[in-house]
Structure 1
């Protein structure tokens, strides 16, 4: 296992507590804490590893280092040439940035959403000798629906490679196969929105808005092009058909190995991106906090402005097992949030926390107005309410998920709108 546990000293723990003492804003005073009992997940898709093992016996695979080395998207602008009109509204110094190539910047089929880095993956912030940034995309088209892909970018070169995420199953002939990642996961349904990802140890965590969290294993990235029974020339098919494995034309696929879902299955939420004040959480985005003991995943809700401070959305913290890279469930087998807070603002697209100080990306300006990055701290105990700490900063148009890179003290995000896409980092405000 690549991830080690960490302990907090008494002094550090005291410092964390001190940073949470703040004067509540008007918004925080008006909102009430959420119920911690609303944040529970149960293990699902527990048979998927068996099918992945069967695929492993039939298909060649490649490790993350080799995928980064031979990344085929090598024509993206680099250095000073890497820029985007999305950054025109950004008021914070850009610490680092990477571009997509022209085809990925302009495509209206695929939309980038989630972001994670090798600093989430492990403490030393290296995967072998590589440092990578990963970005998730969901497919907007309906025929065929291709689900979710992830870009693996080598920060040393700026080159990247797409990997298609897939859902394994046993077909009617009794052979291991796979299909695109959709919600619900059967039939003709839309792609999982892929609003947030976290790479932790060997696992890639992906939010599924109405369901919970899906898990993929970096040790099982299958090379369809190199398979004797693989076909990457047909971009209209996925899975095993007549003895041949297809992948919508992508060279690599990574199948789901397990999942954690709402106890009552797919949750229902109000229409038009509105949220409920209580009940199961909407899983809109995902982040990692390595400053807690144990490490923890944070999840949150994207909610339209409903003129009600209790409907801005909620964030929660979920404990991880640093020895296995997997969730740390309670004694009853359920994965339960250890903390939950009401958000101080609507339209939050991404959140991370560091030493109990939260950082929130929000939007609201469409394809032209700026995004906003603000800090917030807990008030009212746990569960509680986040109160904005300092001014909100105008940032790039269309900012999405957030990821924190401790060694560089950088907040990373990705912008979503076609012709305005870029990955970039700023310092914490």
Structure 2
């Protein structure tokens, strides 16, 4: 791929610096799914509050850990060589349904204001499975600014194993898979599953990457996804090389090297991690924002210079704990495509950080409008029960706004139902997200499942018009 040079104004922000030591790579961290709560996001959270003290900003510092190239080469060679994204797309075997073919409960999960201009529902098995939860989205619009990966338009959707469902096998806990969606024909989307794994034993084996995957960004040739902190060297993010997709040739329940070849628990394709980022200060905590933050979601900002990865933490929407949103710059070095900007010791510092009183945040996006000096931050609240709409706030250091709907514009609950991460497709001007739930009528992960899962896009300009 060829990446085009871009020169843009730096967002008004505060550069934050410090140096701490990091720890080694560990790619098999166990995950616990972050859940939402019952409270409504009706109160206006007000403006963002800048965080500038070193005591606060050092909590956001990362250390980069990369797998040895020889390890990746050994695994790639042993599994018959690398495949491309196009190979996965050409083998797509799950059709997506267009909006007109979605069930009534799926269509009802779409936003009230502004309305979705594109919407798709999953095939019947994935629409109702309670074993897996859709959590995140990124696109080839993140990967390259022409909106394509090679000649393909692609959407990636990250799904996490539902560890809260009773009776799930221990071997499945924390598994993460990605739907590679062929979006070349907007009327005929289809997808194929790829399991996230990590090389072991110098590349002679691989194991499962157990990640919350609440957010992900496909930038240049790397895919960065959120991890669940708190174990195995406190990984915050995992990194994957999109040029190293591999094929499993044995269909079994195993993961890794098995008799006769390689198995990925029934999946044909795997994507092995090539690195991670851990919080330098140790484990995160989702208890309060005085601790190191657990990464709930991430997205790409192409309007900063250089391009940047933005993140948010999550606290229960039933409480009042302010959450943090922050950003890291991507590296501009030609030999470090898709990696974050680090110093010679592998340290990555946050470039900007804020506190928000918006609650229950499941997604974040930063975007600087043309001619503006300051970025708008879009923070998405999702209620923790079925059949309820969320709120998409637009915040800066001056105010917070959201679309209003209902009788006489009396409610901020206008966004999609239980939406997850956010992604902006710059080439098309579309804001993408997806909804999560397929619980029963009692909000339990037991049959019968009520499908409420939809992948949809709204023009960002429509969002801005709605909150004027």
User: With structure 2 as the length reference, what TM-score do the two structures score?
Assistant: 0.77
Q: How far off its partner does 1:32 sit? A: 7.2
Instruction: Note if contact 2:50-2:354 (Cα within 8 Å) is conserved in structure 1.
Output: no
Q: Structure 1 pair 84/33, CA: closer, same or farther in 2 (3 Å)?
A: farther
2:88 aligns with one of 53, 67, 71: 67
CA distance in 1, matches of 2:84, 2:269: 11
Residues 67 and 84 of structure 1: CA distance in aligned 2, closer, same or farther (over 3 Å): farther
Instruction: Write the distance in 2 (CA, Å) between the matches of 1:317 and 1:175.
Output: 33
Deviation at 1:321, TM superposition (A): 1.9
Contact 1:2–1:202 (8 Å) recurs in 2:
no
Map 1:124-163 onto structure 2 (within 5 A).
124-140=146-162, 141-145=168-172, 147-155=175-183, 156=185, 157-163=188-194
SS of equivalent residue, structure 2 residue 385? coil
Task: Answer whether contact 1:120 1:200 (CA < 8 A) is retained.
Answer: yes
Structure 1 residue 338 corresponds to structure 2 residue 323 = no
Output one character per residue of 1:206-231: Cα deviation in whole Å (capped at 9) or x when no partner: 0013231110011111111xxxxx30
1:121–1:31 Cα change, 3 Å: closer
Q: What's the counterpart of residue 328 of structure 1? A: 341
* Alpha-carbon distance in 1 for matches of 2:79, 2:256: 12
Choose the corresponding residue for 1:248, options 265, 281, 291: 265
The 5 A counterparts of 1:130-209 are 130-140=152-162, 141-145=168-172, 147-155=175-183, 156=185, 157-170=188-201, 176-182=204-210, 192-209=211-228
- Structure 2 match to 1:318: 328
Residues 304 and 312, structure 1, Cα contact 8 Å, conserved in 2: no
Q: Secondary structure at the match of 1:349?
A: strand
Number of residues paired by the alignment? 383
Q: Any residues of structure 2 matched to 1:355-366 within 5 Å, and which?
A: 355=368, 356-366=375-385
Q: State the alpha-carbon separation in 2 of the partners of residues 86 and 302 from structure 1.
A: 25
CA pair 29-316 structure 1, distance change in 2 beyond 3 A: closer
Contact 2:46 2:395 (8 Å CA) reproduced = no
> Could you tell me how far 1:373 is from its partner in structure 2?
1.3
Go from structure 1 to structure 2 and tell me whether the alpha carbon gap of 1:100 and 1:84 turns closer, same or farther (over 3 Å shift). Answer: farther
CA distance in 2, matches of 1:96, 1:28: 31
**Deviation (angstroms), 1:361:** 1.3
Unmatched runs of 5 consecutive residues or more in structure 2 = 13-42, 163-167, 230-234, 369-374, 404-411, 439-450, 464-468
Output aligned runs, 1:413-428, within 5 Å: 413-418=433-438, 419-428=451-460
Residue in 1 that maps onto 2:6: 6
Superposition deviation, residue 29 in structure 1: 7.1
Provide structure 1 residue ranges, at least 5 long, that are not aligned to the other structure: 18-24, 183-191, 225-229, 271-275, 380-386
In the alignment, structure 1 residue 299 sits paired with structure 2 residue 311: yes
Query: Judging changes above 3 Å, is the alpha-carbon distance between structure 1 residues 423 and 48 closer, same or farther for their aligned structure 2 residues?
Result: farther
Q: What is residue 280 of structure 2 aligned with on the other side?
A: 263
| Structure 1 residue 414 displacement after superposition | 0.7
Measured at CA, do residues 206 and 29 of structure 1 come closer, stay the same or move farther in structure 2, by a change above 3 Å?
closer
Task: Please name the residue that 1:347 is paired with.
Answer: 360
SS of match in other structure, 2:353: strand
Q: 1: distance between equivalents of 2:306 and 2:323?
A: 25
Of residues 144, 147, 164 in structure 2, which corresponds to 1:122?
A: 144
Shift of 1:410: 1.3
Higher strand share: 1
Alignment RMSD, CA only?
A: 2.4
Aligned to 1:188: none
Query: Offset at 1:47?
Result: 3.1
- Quote how far apart the aligned CAs of 1:312 are: 2.4
CA contact (8 A) 2:244 2:271 kept: yes
- Map 1:76-95 onto structure 2 (within 5 A): 76-78=96-98, 80-82=100-102, 85-88=105-108, 90-91=111-112, 92-95=114-117
Residue among 33, 37, 40 paired with 2:58: 37
Q: SS of the counterpart of 1:291?
A: coil
Question: Does structure 2 conserve the Cα–Cα contact (< 8 Å) formed by 1:317 and 1:340?
Answer: yes
| Structure 1 residues 169 and 48, CA gap change in structure 2 (3 angstroms) | farther
Distance 2:361 2:275 in 1: 27
Distance in 1 of aligned mates of 2:48 and 2:314: 20
